[in-house]
Amino acid sequence: MQIQWYPGHMYKAGKEIKNTLQKIDLIIEVLDARLPFSSENPKLSQLRGDKPCIKLLNKSDLADADITSEWQDYLEQTQDIKTLALNIYTPEKTALIPELCHKMFPAKQAYQSINALIMGIPNVGKSTIINALAGRIIAKTGNEPAVTKRQQQIRLKQGLILFDTPGMLWPNLENKNTGYRLAVSGAIKDTALHHDDVAFFAAEYLLHQYPQLLKDRFKIPVLPANETELMEIIGRQRGCLRAGGNIDMDKTAKILMSEIRAGILGQISWETPKMMETELAELKLIRASKAAKKKSKMNAHTRK
Ligand code: G4P
């Protein structure tokens, strides 16, 4: 899996966050409701210390509503944080954010502003939320190394000052599914991961988790046994054919991905708390085995 990171940029952004944390009261992390685990900043719990935190599960219009509620319960119970599920079509929920922040500081007087650091990986909808809260278009902070725009402060009428940091996509790809899910959601652009690969990942997941959505969208009465056959059926149905009648998988993959990203197939969540726990447990085992191998290699080396 080939994914482009900007290590220097991320290092600087991480340092900037640490400095900012000294002057802020709380953290607002914007997550993609379809993948709250894969779209989180894995360093946040470490950076955060005991600062209060609100996690916004954004783009909830694209996610499975039952699973979003499951995530909210799970996050609030296990992480001592508040959550809010919202999307671009629920401005009344976005408007609740300042009130939610103030509720977390009951001792503060109404005239005292709350300093909130707002963060999120690129494309989760952070700018859309900031613009909705500010009631105007605020220039984006830079996501790319070439963009020199830095952190900015946005003073809202409701006694909230937002500290906006450049978007950061941390190298949280020890878990292979995380990369695929970020690609499915559009957070990682097609150039970084091969979209055929991503489409096969999505097709396999949908076959297991959302068979009815596939049946309805592609008018398939009986689903095939595997993702390759499914892609062939979709390709044939959409006229993605090469000379000789072979399926053009590249074109099929593009169609499937754009329909998924636009929510045309339906509301889909790409991970659940249970899946996350299983994957974290697997990662722990992999890390332990790697550490043991490294140790035995070092021991062998010192014995020489
Ligand atoms: P960012 O600052 O976190 O990078 O994200 P931004 O607000 O720019 O939003 C990224 C894309 O996601 C935008 O689409 C935006 O309209 C869309 N978006 C934001 N919030 C929601 C939401 O709640 N639901 C849905 N369905 N979409 C949302 P775009 O400009 O068309 O960009 P792109 O999709 O072509 O990347």
Q: Tens digit of pLDDT for each residue in 207-226?
A: 999 999 999 999 999 999 99
* Ligand 1 atom nearest to CA at 186: 36
Highest mean pLDDT among 149-163, 187-201, 233-247: 233-247
Distance 203 CA to ligand 1 centre (A): 23
Same domain assignment for residues 208 and 150: no
In this structure, are strands 160-164 and 82-85 parallel, antiparallel, or unpaired? unpaired
What does the pLDDT read at residue 77?
Answer: 95
Does 277 fall in a domain? no
Q: Is 51 part of any domain?
A: yes
Same domain, residue pair 95 and 198? no
List all residues whose CB is within 6 A of at least one atom of ligand 1. 58-59, 61-62, 87-88, 120, 122-128, 167, 186
Could you tell me if residue 290 is inside a domain? no
* Of 157-161, 194-198, 230-234, highest mean pLDDT: 230-234
- Look at residue 158 and tell me if it is in a domain: yes
Among 126, 145, 164, give the residue marking a domain's end: 164
Out of 149, 164, 179, a domain closes at 164
Do 159 and 198 lie in one domain? The reply is no
Q: Which residue, judged by its Cα, is nearest atom 10 of ligand 1?
A: 123
Cα–Cα separations (whole angstroms), residue 260 to 186, 264, 268, 269: 10, 6, 8, 11
Distance 123 CA to ligand 1 centre (A): 6
Q: Which of the 8 DSSP states describes residue 241?
A: B
Residues 134 and 13 in one domain: yes
Q: CA 173, CA 226: separation in Å to the nearest integer?
A: 26
DSSP state for residue 156 in the 8-state scheme: E
CA of 150 to the centre of ligand 1 (A): 20
Residue 100's SS3 state is: helix
Question: Could you read off the pLDDT of 15-44 as tens digits, one per residue?
Answer: 777 788 889 999 999 999 999 999 998 778
* Mean pLDDT on 276-296: 90
CATH of the domain at 79: 3.40.50.300
Percent of the chain with pLDDT over 70: 88
* CA 128 – ligand 1 centroid, Å: 7
What does the alpha-carbon distance between residue 32 and residue 47 come to, in Å, rounded to a whole number?
20
Predicted confidence (pLDDT) per residue in 78-93, tens digit: 988 999 999 999 999 9
Which residue's CA is the nearest one to ligand 1's atom 6?
125
Whether 147 has a pLDDT exceeding 50, the answer reads no
Residue nearest ligand 1's atom 26 by CA? 59
Q: Is the pLDDT of residue 8 over 70?
A: no
Evaluate if residue 298 carries a pLDDT over 90: no
**Distance (Å, rounded) from C-alpha 72 to C-alpha 82?**
8
156 in the same domain as 58: yes
Same domain? For 122 and 23 the reply is yes
Check pLDDT > 90 for residue 193: no
Question: Given the CA of residue 128, which atom of ligand 1 is nearest to it?
Answer: 7
CA of 98 to the centre of ligand 1 (A): 21
In a domain, 180, yes or no: no
Inside any domain, residue 33: yes
- 225 and 117 assigned to the same domain: no
Q: Does 141 lie in the same domain as 17?
A: yes
Instruction: Report the CATH number that the domain containing residue 235 is assigned in CATH.
Output: 1.10.1580.10
Closest ligand 1 atom to residue 86 Cα is: 23
| 212 shares a domain with 155 | no
> Do 158 and 198 reside in the same domain of the chain?
no
pTM above 0.75, yes or no: yes
Q: Are residues 122 and 222 in the same domain?
A: no
- Whether 253 is covered by a domain: the verdict is yes
Give the count of domains, the chain. 2
140-163 exposure pattern, b = at least 16 Cβ within 10 A, e = fewer: bbbbeeeeeeebeebebeebbbbb
- 146 pLDDT band, cuts 50/70/90, is very low
CA of 227 to the centre of ligand 1 (A): 29
- Residues 232, 107 share a domain: no
Cα(122) to ligand 1 centroid in Å equals: 9
Ligand 1 mutation target, pool 123, 133, 164, most atoms within 8 A of CB = 123
| pLDDT score recorded for residue 138 | 86
Q: Sorting pLDDT into bands at 50, 70 and 90, what band is 162?
A: very high
Domain final position from 117, 144, 164: 164
Domain extent for 226: 194-261
Give the pLDDT mean for 121-129.
Answer: 90
> 125 C-alpha to center of ligand 1: Å?
5
